Amino acid sequence: MSNTQPAPVASEHIELKARKVSFDWRETPLHWVPGDPFTTHTINVLHLLLPAGERWFIHVYKQVLPYITDDRLREDVIGFIGQEAVHSQAHDDVLPRLKELGLDPTPYTAQVDWFFEKLLGDKTLPPGRPRRWWLMERVALIAAIEHYTAFLGNWVLNADELDRRGCDPAMLDLLRWHGAEEVEHRSVAFELFMHLDGGYRRRVRTWALAFSALVFFWQRGARFFMENDPTLLDGKASVGQFVRKGREGVLPSTPDMLRSIPRYLSRDYHPSQEGDTEQAAAYLAGSPGANGGR
Ligand SMILES: [Fe+2]
Ligand SMILES: [Fe+2]
């Protein structure tokens, strides 16, 4: 059933647990990266994509649980489901604050919901091979998306420029708590895919779909926020701004993002090669939001 798996770089195994979190949005300003609406809104796209996206992960993984023949992996998947459920809810909870500040995300989230619930939903395929094929396709898609959530998690944990710019502490904590848990559970989706299928062509195909969808939704979301920001007369989002902000260190750098592509497509890839579990654990131990709020 399973393919030959590239080994993790360390023999560490972490018991994944969902942490109770609490974030207070009352003081969070519209431009929580001060004076930088483009960076604020580019990162804000996470609040639009993640609630529906992570609910969809859970929906797919619950269907997959009966196929898992490795007890430890099943435990990891259950822990993963618990963490993603909290992530989805925590980002959802930011949306009322955005609305209060004059940014109604509903028209955009409706499109994202349609994408995950209908286009990537269960479909009415006949039982047997077609249904199993579609399930495995989605398991592989989640592994590809989790390559990027781990990439972003690792980035935000190290994005010191966001501190220097005086970003809103609650938002930074939400992003880093989430990022740290993404680093913590970064191997689960890939190991599950390798356990259940692991086909290389499927990995490449679903990476291409995941990457295209992320780029498509991200640029549309950033444009949506910039155009609807009540304080901007002619808000625009462009690739040039993204590249520039990446160079400044307030967004992931474009060269780093491009370099992450061949890593995922390498036959030796294992997610544990990226990110730092100890750094993630250290952040989680001190995160105000994950330790009773502030
Ligand atoms: Fe997550
Ligand atoms: Fe995740």
pLDDT tens-digit map of 138-173:
999 999 999 999 999 999 999 999 999 999 999 999
All structural domains of the chain with their residue ranges: 37-285
pLDDT of the residue at 123 = 78
Backbone angles phi, psi at 118, to 5 degrees: -100, -60
Ion ligand 2 neighbours, Cβ < 5 Å: 149, 182
Indicate whether 175 pLDDT > 60: yes
Tokens standing for residue 183: 């680093």
Half-sphere exposure of 59 (CA within 13 A, CB side): 14
Ligand minimally distant from the alpha carbon of residue 49: 1
Q: Report the range of poorest mean pLDDT among 5-19, 87-101, 236-250.
A: 5-19
Query: Ligand 1: distance of its center to the CA of 186 in Å?
Result: 10
Q: What is the mean pLDDT of residues 191-206?
A: 97
Indicate whether 34 pLDDT > 60: yes
Please check whether residue 223 is in contact with residue 237, taking contact to mean a CB–CB distance below 8 angstroms: yes
Please check whether residue 54 is in contact with residue 80, taking contact to mean a CB–CB distance below 8 angstroms: no
Confidence tier at 268 by pLDDT (50, 70, 90)? very high
Query: Ligand 2: distance of its center to the CA of 182 in Å?
Result: 5
Ion ligand 1 neighbours, Cβ < 5 Å: 84, 87
Query: Ligand 2: distance of its center to the CA of 232 in Å?
Result: 33
Kindly tell me the sign of the dihedral angle through the C-alpha atoms of 228, 230, 236, 242: negative
pTM as predicted: 0.94
- 37-285 classified as CATH 1.10.1200: no
- H helices present in the chain, as ranges: 37-64, 71-92, 95-100, 106-114, 129-157, 160-164, 169-184, 188-196, 200-228, 239-248, 254-265, 277-286
pLDDT of the residue at 184 = 97
Ligand minimally distant from the alpha carbon of residue 54: 1
Confidence tier at 292 by pLDDT (50, 70, 90)? confident
Indicate whether 249 pLDDT > 60: yes
Q: What is the mean pLDDT of residues 223-230?
A: 96
Indicate whether 267 pLDDT > 70: yes
Closest CA relative to residue 53, chosen from 170, 214, 197: 214
Closest CA relative to residue 16, chosen from 89, 84, 71, 88: 84
Please check whether residue 254 is in contact with residue 167, taking contact to mean a CB–CB distance below 8 angstroms: no
pLDDT of the residue at 293 = 64
Q: What is the mean pLDDT of residues 31-49?
A: 97
Distance of CA 124 to the CA centre of its chain: 28
Query: Ligand 1: distance of its center to the CA of 234 in Å?
Result: 33
pLDDT of the residue at 4 = 59
pLDDT of the residue at 5 = 65
